[in-house]
Chains A and B, each alone.
Chain A
Amino acid sequence: MSEIKNNSALVLMKNISKSFYGNKVNTNVEFTLEKGEIHALLGENGAGKTTLMNMLTGVYFPDEGDIYFKGKKLNFKFPGEALRIGIGMVHQRFSLVGNLTVLENLILGHPDNKFVLNIPEKKKLIKTYMDQFNFQVDLDAIVGELPIGVRQKVEILKMLVREVDVLIVDEPTTVLTKQEADNLMEILKSIAKTGKGIIFITHKMSEVFNIADKITVLRKGLKIATVDKNDTNPRKLAKMMVGKESEITFERPKVDIKPGVVKIQKLFVNSDKGVLAVNNLSFDLAGGEIIGIAGVSGNGQVELADALTGNRDVIRGKIIFKGENITNDTPVKRIDKGVSYVPGDRVNVGVAGNRSVWENIIMKVYRLPIFKKGLLLNNKKLKEYAEKIIEKYNVFLPGINLPALLLSGGNLQKLIVGREMERDCDMYIFVYPTRGLDVGATEFVRNAILQLRNQGKAVIMVSGDFDEIFSLSDRIAVMYEGKFTGIFNNGDHSLEEIGLMMSGCTEEEAVKEMSNV
């Protein structure tokens, strides 16, 4: 057991390198975490943040370098060991058991569990943690029925119950609303005050300045710098992250509107659980117009998009597209009629991950006569088509014949957006188009959406990102429990008013509420 000098540090990662199949994911990275510190790990997609943390938690082993925890060198035998000694990580994909209650999840696998579980005592213990850090969670609720924001809290609570000294949270706010995210940050701050160290993986600048004491920036697997929050500013950090300063502004030039491209009349759609998710929704959309649908996630936005594209059955109501009733058309018919869909779940729905890149690019055009060679498909021509899209939309990838799951988030989305744009449709539906993307890819996708509008396409954009909603939308609709609480021109209402509509206020109520303040 080798001891090191810097004993005060909770975590010390020295000279860490890791590569996968010859690609260096981390190169000589140094990282230190002190007690009571919130340390943000900032970087674009694929910068090596998650890999670095996976080494700290024993999921991967570094090729080079040493990791010290409380002054002792770590040598994990299996991934669960990290949690046992006090390093806990909340992953982007939660590791909760949906069928169990919150309490059962919290004590599941706890080393103190005896043959007989003393539930009341456990409950009391957990309550003390909840009071200390101001958690509001129903311990007897079934986890699978909880909103995602609450599940996240359960994950964090689980780590507290395990009495971790180091808490790693991997992009915790991507799936949360603004309010939920703010609440989470407050909780994290109070946890840090008790002397625990927190590593906060993110690529959102605003969060970094809200929460972090120190910031380490990674880029392409290299550590660019570790800075104190007070010694830096967003501009400097952005420069470190992307290697260039990016000041993105969007211009929405006036275009000729083609009214009535899409007409939605009294639409009712169920969710997977059979509950009404879209409740009597009607609106029109013109060509050359972007309607931004804002709202807390889970209020029927995804079900609406699925219904419009034929991926979900409509219970009642009509979808009129270019004057034609397409309510009962199959997805393939709508694809042929010019409906395009960029789904929110790009990894599982947007592509078939283990199929090759080129097979994923052609998934909506392979049926066309130009790709036929007698009875067969003209694979050569299809591959050429795929290559054209890769080049045109600047998709960076390891190889056209390799599985699509090897692409980074940003490049995957470029591939999907490119694939859809190239088909030249009349209606485009984007769901969370830039969620989890880095600065470069976000800019690319937003420009693409705007370009479609300028070409006269009708665009529906579901988004949780206000920057996106405000910078792109011509009209904004706020969705709450399957209905629009407001639908208005961009600029008619302030951010605060929209926030109120997202929590159920009507347009009038929201305006009134704000004028009272």
Chain B
Amino acid sequence: MYKIKLEQKERVSKREELIITLSAIGIALVLSGIFIALNGVNPFVALWKVLTSALGSSYGISETLVKTIPLIFTGLAVGIALNSKLWNIGAEGQLFFGATFATAFIIYGPVLPKPLMLTVLVILGAVGGALWAAIPALLKIKFKMNEVISTLLLNYVAINIADYFLFGHWKGKDNFPYTPIFPEEARFDRIGFGRVHIGLFLALVLVVLLYIMLYHTKIGYKLRMTGSSLKAAKYAGININKTMFMVFLMSGALAGLAGVSQICGIEYKLHQHISTDYGYTGIIVAWLARSNPFIIVIFAIFLSILLKGAESLQIAMRLPAAVGIVMQALILFAILGSELFKNYNVKLIRGK
């Protein structure tokens, strides 16, 4: 008979961590394959379909990139908070609130010259997201309320606020819940590759800026210190409440930008489906990337491929729409499960 032995590890090297993460993704893909097979589709054919649909044509690649853009924003949003050991489960709500905020200016404000208009919209989207994130931040700092709960619940509130306007004042002429099409001045330029828009550059610039901020500035140092040990940070003279508040604002602003980039870059209007759970997928992206901004880009692309592929599976192979969600969930589970292997040596031994 064989038994499993667990032995605590002193620490884990970067290389080991990478191997464990990649193995976890591998296992999740195998489990997804089983799930697909149970639905009567050959998993290898499905995998091929995922890859070819997401990467096999310039159209596929451009559509994958279209999904990558919001995932970079939300991945960064969750990731920066994770650097301070804060869980922002509310990127989805901040995305919607940022989008609603920017939309309000388009609807009620003047039409400005394009560069100015876009600058205003980007800033408003960021401010909207930041404001929405300020609520859980204050609740945490003033009343020690757990941010996982507050950010999560505020998602529903933010989405309902957007709905309020969509079903009310902003309703289109045909009575459907979406705003009128935005004027040309409020649209991100396309870069000449499918629907890919300049939001991609904004996202990539922010990746670099955030990396520099995290590792080469005082605020980045404070932020990471706070995440490592509250007591030590306080001892070092860091104002931990102020730091946490700033982290929340930055995190919300990034998620708000995802909202602006969706409405101004892709949809050209606000409606209920500007996000396909990008705020939640961002959590997986940030977690897989260990909150490193550059690695967030890689995993944002990876998850976009899965999302795009799952759409095609649904259309071409008549698999249920849930396949994509199931795959994401399996990856998250596998990654969380793999934490065991980071903290323990697991040995299979022959028992008595």
Chain A residues with CB under 8 Å of chain B are: 20-21, 59-61, 75-78, 309, 311, 330-332, 334-335, 341, 343, 345, 348-355, 359-360, 363-364, 366-367, 375-377, 379, 403, 406
Given contacts A77-B351, A349-B231, contact A20 B10 (CB under 8 A): yes
Q: A331-B234, A352-B228, A353-B228 are in contact. Are A60 and B239 (CB under 8 A)?
A: no
Which chain A residue has the least Cβ–Cβ distance from B226? A352
- For A345, what are the chain B residues with a Cβ–Cβ distance below 8 Å? 231
* Shortest beta-carbon distance from B85 to chain A in Å: 10
B227 to chain A, nearest CB (A): 9
25 examples of A-B residue contacts, CB within 8 angstroms: A21-B13, A75-B352, A77-B3, A77-B5, A309-B235, A331-B234, A331-B235, A348-B231, A349-B231, A349-B232, A350-B235, A352-B225, A352-B228, A353-B228, A353-B229, A354-B228, A354-B229, A355-B224, A355-B225, A359-B221, A363-B232, A377-B218, A379-B216, A406-B10, A406-B11
Contact B10 A332 (CB under 8 A): no
Docked CA distance A311–B218 (Å): 21
For the complex, is B146 an interface residue (Cβ under 8 Å from A)?
no
Is the C-beta of B8 less than 8 angstroms from some C-beta in chain A?
Answer: yes
Partner of B232, one of A352, A366, A375: A352
Per-residue CB contact flags for chain B residues 315-352 toward chain A (1 = under 8 Å, else 0) read 00000000000000000000000000000000101011
B1-45 interface with A by 8 A CB criterion:
3, 5-8, 10-11, 13
Name the prevailing secondary structure of the B interface residues: mixed
Among residues of A, the one whose C-beta sits closest to the C-beta of B352 is A75
B236 contacts A by Cβ under 8 Å: yes
Q: B238 on the interface (CB 8 Å rule)?
A: yes
Does B229 contact A331, Cβ atoms closer than 8 Å?
Answer: no
Give per-residue flags for B224-258: 1 if the beta carbon is below 8 A from chain A beta carbons, else 0: 11001101111111110000000000000000000
Question: In the complex, what's the smallest C-beta–C-beta distance from A325 to chain B, in angstroms?
Answer: 19
A314 CB to nearest chain B CB (Å): 16
CB distance from B49 to the nearest CB of A (A): 42
Which residues of chain B come closer than 8 Å to A367, judged between CB atoms?
218
Contact B212 A376 (CB under 8 A): yes
Contact A377 B216 (CB under 8 A): yes
Tell me which of A311, A353, A377, A403 contacts B235 (CB under 8 A).
Answer: A311
Identify the B interface with A (CB < 8 A).
3, 5-8, 10-11, 13, 212, 215-218, 221, 224-225, 228-229, 231-239, 347, 349, 351-352
Tell me the complex Cα distance, A364–B351, Å.
53
CB distance from A96 to the nearest CB of B (A): 20
- Among the interface residues B13, B212, B218, B235, which one has the most CB atoms of the partner chain A within 10 A? B235
Residues of B contacting A76 with CB < 8 Å?
5
Residues of the B chain whose Cβ atoms lie less than 8 Å from the Cβ of A77? 3, 5, 349, 351
Say yes or no: B235 contacts A78, CB within 8 Å.
no
Q: Which residues of A contact B237 (CB under 8 A)?
A: 330-332, 334-335, 364
Chain B positions within 8 Å of A21 at CB level: 10-11, 13
Closest residue on chain A to residue B216 by CB atoms: A376
**A352/B229 contact (C-beta < 8 A), A20-B10, A330-B237, A335-B237 known:** yes
Q: Which of A311, A377, A406 has the most CB of B within 10 A?
A: A377
When A and B form their complex, which 9 residue pairs have the shortest distance between CB atoms, in order from nearest? A332-B237, A352-B228, A352-B229, A363-B236, A352-B232, A331-B237, A376-B216, A335-B237, A349-B231
Chain A residues near B351: list those with CB within 8 A.
77
Are B225 and A363 interface neighbours, CB within 8 A?
yes
Taken together as a complex, chains A and B put the C-alpha atoms of A8 and B34 apart, in Å, by 57
Q: Complex: how many Å from CA A225 to CA B8?
A: 29
A-side binding surface: helix, strand, loop or mixed? loop
Tell me whether B216 and A352 are in contact (CB under 8 A). no
**CB closest residue in chain A, given B215:** A379
Determine the distance from Cα of A334 to Cα of B237 in the docked complex, in whole angstroms.
Answer: 9
Closest to A360 in B: B232
Docked complex Cα distance between A360 and B212 (Å): 19
Closest to A364 in B: B236
Chain B nearest CB, measured from A19 CB (Å): 10
Q: How far is the CB of B210 from chain A (nearest CB, A)?
A: 14
Residues of A within 8 A of B10 (CB): 20-21, 406
Q: With A354-B228, A376-B217 known to touch, is A311 a contact of B234 (CB < 8 Å)?
A: yes
- Cα–Cα distance between A348 and B234 once the two chains are bound (Å): 11
The listed residue (B8, B212, B218, B231) touching A366 by CB distance below 8 A is: B218
Chain A residues, Cβ within 8 Å of B236: 331, 363-364
Which residue of chain B lies nearest to A382 when distances are taken between CB atoms in the complex? B221
The chain B residue sitting closest to A343, CB to CB, is B235
Q: A343-B235, A367-B218 are in contact. Are A59 and B8 (CB under 8 A)?
A: yes
Distance of A313 from chain B, by nearest CB (Å): 12
B346 to chain A, nearest CB (A): 12
Evaluate contact between B11 and A403: CB separation under 8 angstroms. yes
Q: 20 extra interchain contacts, Cβ-Cβ under 8 A, other than A60-B8, A366-B221?
A: A20-B10, A21-B10, A61-B347, A76-B5, A311-B234, A330-B239, A331-B234, A331-B236, A343-B235, A349-B235, A350-B232, A353-B228, A353-B229, A353-B232, A354-B228, A355-B228, A364-B236, A364-B237, A375-B217, A377-B221
B5–A61 CB distance below 8 A: yes
* CA of A81 to CA of B267, assembled, Å: 61
Complex: how many Å from CA A351 to CA B234? Answer: 11
Contact B232 A351 (CB under 8 A): yes
Pairwise interchain contact B7-A60, C-beta atoms closer than 8 A: yes
**Once the chains bind, are B221 and A78 in contact (CB under 8 Å)?**
no
A367, B218: Cα distance in complex, Å: 7
Min distance, Cβ B244 to any Cβ of chain A, angstroms: 15
B6 adjacent to A78 (CB under 8 Å): yes
B339 to chain A, nearest CB (A): 15
Cα A75 to Cα B349 with chains together (Å): 10
Q: Quick one: closest A residue to B236, CB to CB? A: A363
B3 contact set on A, CB distance < 8 A: 77
A376, B219: Cα distance in complex, Å: 10
| Distance, CA A77 to CA B237, complexed state (A) | 46
Which of chain B's residues have a CB closer than 8 A to the CB of A377?
216-218, 221
Decide if A348 touches B232 in the complex (CB within 8 Å).
yes
User: Closest chain A residue to B8 by CB distance?
Assistant: A59
CB-CB under 8 A from A364, the residues of chain B are 236-237
In the assembled complex, how far is the CB of residue A65 from the closest CB belonging to chain B, in whole angstroms? 16
CA–CA, A343 to B229, complex, Å? 14
Chain A neighbourhood of B234, CB < 8 A: 311, 331
| Whole-angstrom distance between the Cβ of A311 and the nearest chain B Cβ | 6
Among residues of B, the one whose C-beta sits closest to the C-beta of A21 is B10
Query: Least Cβ distance of A329 to chain B in Å?
Result: 10
User: How many whole Å from B82's CB to the nearest CB in chain A?
Assistant: 13
Interfacial chain B residues near A360, Cβ < 8 Å: 232
- Residues on A with C-beta less than 8 A from B231 are 345, 348-349
A352 x B233 contact (CB < 8 A): yes
The smallest beta-carbon distance between A403 and chain B, in angstroms, is: 7
Within 8 Å CB of A59, what residues of B?
Answer: 7-8
> What's the Cα separation between A331 and B235 when bound, in Å?
7
**Nearest-neighbor residue (CB-CB) of B233 within chain A:** A352
Q: Which residues of A lie under 8 Å from residue B13 when comparing CB positions? A: 21
With A and B bound together, what is the CA distance between A334 and B351 in angstroms?
60
A348 touches B229 (CB 8 A): yes
B250 to chain A, nearest CB (A): 16
Give Cα distance in the complex from A332 to B241, angstroms. 14
| Nearest CB in chain B: distance from A221 CB, A | 14
